[in-house]
Structure 1
Amino acid sequence: MRLHEYQAKEVFADAGIPTPDATLARTVDEAVEAAGEIGYPVAIKAQVHVGGRGKAGGIKLVENDEEAREAAAEILGMDLKGYQVDKVLVEEAVDFVNELYVGVTMDRGEGQPVAMVSTRGGVNIEEVAEEDPDAIAREHIDPAFGMHEYEARKVVYEAGVDRDIAMDVASILSTLYDLWEERDGADAEINPLMVTAEDDVIAADAVFNLDGDALFRQQDLAELEDEAAEDDLEAKANEYGFDYVRLSGNVGIIGNGAGLVMTTLDLVDYYGGAPANFLDIGGGAKAERVANALDMVFSDDNVDAVVFNIFGGITRGDEVANGINQALEQFDEIPKQVIVRLAGTNAEEGMEILNTDLVQVEATLEDAVQAAVEAAAEVEQ
């Protein structure tokens, strides 16, 4: 379960992490009124579950009522990477001299939580990790003992944080870890953690994702789930009963079985593409279920090509082929190029049934993924 920024900031503030003065608004008039009460300048920030809101026009800094009204009118109701904006956070603007990153997540490779700090805050931390991994200091934490104060200080100093603010940053990181642990967190991040000229550190953004299987222990946060509205695709996934996660790429992925889908995601990345989603249709999928899966992926504007990876065990290749034909024959023109790989039970029968005028068929998973990555790249050009 993902919290909105305003919800995460409430959790952080209650735990003692400094956050800017802010008010949630659902109308233009509410936004203007809130801005006046907080005092200009303020930031008006779309509350949707996507990164890169600023670059997409979802965050604007305003200096007066006229600018606030114009910005709120522009942001409220906009489509931001597939999400409809129905609320904004009107927040005190922070006059900062530096931006840091602090975060806590689970390192599944090590089987331990990991605390992370970087002096390169305010940008996509995944890009920093890829381009300059040494710019992020990491400290693994033994969950049996929790984070010791010396561990927080160690990772902060290793990141190169200025000594004048190091203790404050270490304190915030310790609090963030405690929240992550006590609140059954999946990911907890502050990016950016802003540093002012007076050496104050303030959480200018907040990410807090929870383990959905542990919500029964977090009833007060579970009640926020209705407010943390899903986008149309996530709602459709719930309606269809799919395991679905939306990602930021443009190669749509459908498979049967979580491991098979994860393998396909890894191969898309390996061959230079970017996955748009995780979509597991499950075992024993009938034609209607397969058609629903294609309907979902076609509904994602970010998807430029689709790879359909099915290994038949319980799921029969002929049923999958019927579902693909059934879905695609509904369209006068196929909206996305579809590449199919079938293997396992009744795969040969399925290959004979597939309408190759509508799909591209590849014999191996590697060939199918490469074809999908190339097709998506051509659309982007």
Structure 2
Amino acid sequence: MTRRKIGLLATAGICALGTIASAQAEDAVDVTIGWVPPDVTGVFATATSFFEASAAEANKNGFNVEVITRSPATHTAFADQVGIVEDLISRQVDVIAISPTEVEIVRPALRQAAERGIPVIVVNLLEPIPDVDVVSYIGFDNVQGAKVTAYAILDYFGGPGVLGEGEKVDIEDGQFLDLAFWEDLYGGLTDEQKAKISATGAIIEGIAGGFFSTARLNGFNEVMADYPNINIVGATCAADWNRELGTKCTEDFMQSNPEGLDFIWAASNEMGLGAMLALQAADRLETAENGPSLGNTNVAVFTNDVTPESVERIAEGRLIAETTHGFADWGWYGTAFGVQTACGLDIPATFDIRPRIAYADNAREFYPDPALPEIDWATIRADCQMAQ
């Protein structure tokens, strides 16, 4: 399959050129996609860039795709996301793509969109939303994503793998270090081997009791339950997917555990970067170069998501490992599936992005230029029923 590299820095220029070209094409098919992320920072800034990059490619091939991006001010402004969806319905956009802040709260508005004939694409989720007609789910299993990070922590603190001082595993170029890889690697460990993996850590979760936070906690804890010498201190700290609150949680953990902490797992990228900054300020950040180092005051940071910013920190060794959730893919396919469904064409009911680990040796495979499959926009345009 032909693969096309899309650079983030070029997105704005490409999008502008695509818009100009499409405006000049008399037979361009207009498609308006309302994209509603929880915010437009971090991971969702990345996804938004690739929604726009994908639209720019469409606009070179007989479309005039407009992506309207609107988001609440914060992840906890639940009513604002509902209001945005309702406004997009009133504007009669062709498609609504959304990453819900919380599924139950936004569910009635999504049901209303579907009832009004506006196709709904859900991003950042594979689990079906009850009583809502969703044409496609683009995302990953949140439980699986957290499991992948849990295995990376086990690897770093003595288990087999690619990170720590345990048994080293040979990796082929481009190999996915996904859940299947880790479960195969750890499935045959004896109780004695499991007991040799030892560390003490703390957990920063997202919104306490929320769907996404609960799913990730469940996945992480399910893996760690089999390893008796992985100890989690105290209660989890909820940081609402926010960097500043992630910093505050880490400061609290350091104060209550001045010596007995080896790692922090933050359930999202923004919170993980906050943890990194707090540890760095306290001169307690463990890096890939100086760790693993049990028994001192350094703390290693592991997290989930992967963005251009966090890839830089991974490459520098300041984040040990992070599980990617495919944010470039969200936008790249989000626009493509939105245009196809607006054209009356079939799209996958689910598109599973396999969570896999990013670490220093493979970080550059993810950003700044992720390789993405080329979309056959010419064929989509030729088959588009809106133009007939």
Task: Output the TM-score relative to the length of structure 2.
Answer: 0.25
Task: Output the TM-score relative to the length of structure 1.
Answer: 0.26
Between structure 1 and structure 2, the one with the greater Rg is 1
Structure 1 or 2: more strand by fraction? 1
